[in-house]
Amino acid sequence: MTETIHETVVIGSGPAGYTAAIYLARSNIMPLILEGPVPGGQLTITTDVENYPGFVDGILGPDLMERMRDQAKRLGATIMSATAISLRNNAAPFELEIEDNLGRAGLIKAKTLIVATGASARFLGLPKEQELMGYGVSACATCDAAFYRDKHVAVMGGGDTAMEEAIFLTRFAKRVTLIHRREGFRAAQVMVDKARANAKIDWKLNYIVVDMQGTAKTGLESLTLENTLTKEREQFDCDGLFVAIGHTPNTEFLGDKIAKSESGYILTSHDTTTNIPGVFACGDVADQVYRQAVLAAGRGCMAAIDCKNYLENLG
């Protein structure tokens, strides 16, 4: 029996992964896509996407990803509901240990890999955080905002995601307090201005969350805040906390086989090539600055072209 060695396996299914698959398929390289634990990536937990070109009135994040998925599939890509667990080697044919959505293990081989696994939300690391996850603590306003209708919620963070979460939550919550460790923000000024203009958003600047009160039975009851300037602490009553403090690139399955930045993002050259010949990276897994869907899609296109050229040069 002949062992299957795929021409290309695309690991990840956000804008970068799907776009790479679309371009590969149109080049007559029919890729296998490993969808990963969150099919569609971060955009599936986003509501209105108004900055993706071509949609005059905007589009819902899940709808955009469904369109990309359907397009990749129509053009010939094979989609597998599985997650890459480990890369066994650093030379072709690459061996990937995988696990499907039923927990079954497997092994697939490929001549080339495109890593588009994105980045996952980062949490505070407080003792109560995981206990209260889903009981007052969340990292996804789109998923959980409806549970806080007419309640008081807090958002922790100072980037674009924090502003977006706070603004979205005002559709449901009676009051939203944005907590940030300093007075300046990483968020784009237009996002800060939009949040400032929302009368339902209060601001708690120069503060961090150092503890939480509540149980899975009672839900989150309050937060302990610490002033970053004076170190004084105070109790802050609220019904929910949405953590929006950044993301961690999903590169654990690669181990130390691939070159990464200090913060774990895959290092690429001016194109999408990595230190391993035949392995390419695109999207948020290799972008710690912009993290935008349109840029991820563009880099997915680049990865597909780089991959196609590499395969052609193999002869």
Q: What residues are annotated to the active site?
A: 140, 143-144
Asked if 25 and 19 touch (Cβ cutoff 8 Å), the reply is: no
The number of angstroms, rounded, from the C-alpha of 278 to the middle of its chain's C-alpha atoms is 24
93 preceded by cis ω (within 30°)?
yes
Return the number of other C-beta atoms located less than 10 Å from residue 168's C-beta: 19
> If 0-12 CB within 10 Å is exposed, 13-18 middle and 19+ buried, where does residue 249 land?
buried
Longest dimension (CA), the chain: 70
> Angle, nearest 10°, between helix axes 15-26 and 293-314?
40
Question: Residue 257 and residue 259: Cα distance in Å, rounded?
Answer: 7
In total, the chain counts a number of residues equal to 315
> For residue 25, which phi and psi values (nearest 5 degrees)?
-60, -40
Let me know how many helices (H) and strands (E) the chain has, helices first: 6, 19
Find tokens 């969808």 and name the residue: 35
Q: Between β-strands 240-243 and 152-156, what pairing exists: parallel, antiparallel or unpaired?
A: parallel
Residues 16, 282: contact at Cβ < 8 Å? yes
